[in-house]
Amino acid sequence: MPQLVSALAQARTIFAKHRSPIRTSDAIRLGIHPRTLYQLRDSAEIERIGRGLYRLASDRAISNPDWIMISARAPKPVFCLISALAHHRLTTQVPHMIDIAIPSHAQLPRIDGLPIRAFWYPEKSLAVGVETVKIDGVGVRVFSAEKTIADCFKYRNKIGLDVAIEALRMRRERNGRKGMKSILQFAEVDRVKQIILPYIEAIL
């Protein structure tokens, strides 16, 4: 019994120190035996927030569990397009899907039935404009506002040209000319500079 108590105490300490959701595989790597993990779950000291993903039940409510779950389980996703626009408050659209950018030829992740819409990005485009933000203690990757706007013009046939134009206008109203140069630089990477340029000129 003392050994079991010690294992439980050690597991509680690990969760408290980690301060973010832990995958089962990471919990085992950190020294938590599966039996101990499931005992904490059964006693409601930790809660399951996704398949193989646990957090302390006493932690504050998670503000964006879907993004956290995807970041923990998918191979280095970057949140993009309408999801990223919503994050940057550059759209009036209500996201019904979770847009993620993944490497070309990568397998589409399927996570607990989440409505994921994947876009396969070329390596050059996937490597630029990425920001890491903390959501409930978890680092998630999302494209910057400027990169997202350029991407929206690239994928305008998928998400709608009106969405891309609205984001550009909202960015202009909020920040003036600041960031327009970066948008054009990212548009060049996406090979849509000549498409986006007339819209930028029209709103300046």
HEC string of 165-184?
Answer: HHHHHHHHHHHCCCCHHHHH
Cβ neighbors of 201 (< 8 A, separation 6 or more) are none
Q: The tokens 């998928």 sit on which residue?
A: 158
Q: What residue ranges define each of the domains in the chain, with the CATH number in brackets?
A: 2-56 (1.10.10), 65-203 (no CATH)
Q: Alpha-carbon distance 150 to 52, whole Å? A: 35
Structure tokens at 86: 């919503």
Identify whether the C-beta of residue 53 lies closer than 8 Å to the C-beta of residue 73: yes
Over residues 43-99, the pLDDT tens digits come to 887 777 766 777 777 766 666 777 877 877 666 789 999 999 999 999 998 888 999
- Cα diameter, the chain: 73
pTM of this structure: 0.74
Identify whether the C-beta of residue 67 lies closer than 8 Å to the C-beta of residue 135: yes
Q: Closest by alpha carbon to 141, among 90, 33, 68?
A: 68
Per-residue model confidence (pLDDT) at position 85? 96
3-state secondary structure of 16: helix
Per-residue model confidence (pLDDT) at position 99? 95
